[in-house]
Amino acid sequence: MKPKDKPKYLRELRTLSSRLSLNTLLKDPDDSDQNKIINRIIAVLKDFDHETGLTLERRRNEFQKWARTRKRAEHSENLLKDISHFVNQKIEEIDVYEFDEKKLDFIKKKLRDEHLWIRSKIQGDEEHIFIGKREDTSGKKVHLIAGKTGELRIDPNDEQPSDLLKRIVSITTKEGRRITSTLEFEKEGLIAEDALPGPRLSVYPSNKRQMFLLEIYNSGREDIEGLQVKVLWEQPEKKYFRILESFIGESDDPLFAGPHKVNVLKAGETKFIMNVPATSVDKKLKIVVTGKGVTSNKILNQDFEIETPQQYPRK
């Protein structure tokens, strides 16, 4: 999704969402008009973020699987409500997302101020940026790619550790740009996020059967072992933390399913987490997820901020 196209697609998504009829889909999960709407929403979301579109596609397929059996009608209804909630949540996230082209220009200026030369070219939806030392005549350079989602990534051919690469990652990250690569940088305490392959997770709030849950999705291409989810929140008397260990499957009903522990979250797998605090002083939870990629052995350590449905009154 190009920055200039965001308002157009945002309007389209809101229109499509308003035309979704849960009652129609419950009666006929294969209704052609309603599935055309969902397919279009999936296509637009994939253009913004491919994994988000895939998540919606999987959820729609899961709903259809249960709805076609005509069994556990209440479960099918809850799955459909979750789909509607997911779509509306993603629309709001796109609404507030900023394609910060000005910040990219600022970073280029900052790199030049650090006595580095910059060359760039546009190719499709991406900008390719080549950076090198002005005083270096060897021709060594680092190749960064600015994608449509706003992050910078390192070209795979330039991922060998070097002082120049570490220096560039340090500058760009300090100026507000996330860098993805298969490298880990320990210089000045900086660790770059892993690109594929490597462990990656997404965490979202969810409301199943009027219960506040967390949805955790392995969006990477490898299994994650040693999974631990910690929640931190504030109550009026003090701050608390808790290790969350009660998981249920993506299609499980939280009122009837028996929760279980999860040590390994498979690639592409979604789980829901129970016993999540629903109230905090600032209406926020901090979620810290740790683990390790089974294939790459890379350490996963991701933080998420989730809004709680209720808030304690401040004193």
Judge contact between 290 and 199, C-beta under 8 A.
no
Q: What is the pLDDT of residues 228-255, one digit of tens each?
A: 999 999 998 899 999 999 999 887 888 8
Residue 125 identity: D
In the chain, what is the greatest distance between 2 CA atoms, to the nearest angstrom? Answer: 71
Q: Is the pLDDT of residue 136 over 60?
A: yes
Q: Where are the domains of the chain?
A: 3-96, 101-194, 201-311
Burial level of 265, CB count in 10 A (0-12/13-18/19+)? buried
Q: What is the pLDDT of residue 29?
A: 93
Is 246 in contact with 293 (CB distance < 8 Å)?
no
Domain 201-311 CATH assignment equals 2.60.40: yes
Q: Is the pTM of this model over 0.85?
A: no
Convert the pLDDT of each residue in 162-207 to its tens digit: 677 777 776 776 555 555 543 444 333 333 443 344 687 878 888 7
Q: What is the mean pLDDT of the chain?
A: 80
Write out pLDDT tens, residues 31-60: 999 999 999 999 998 877 776 788 899 889
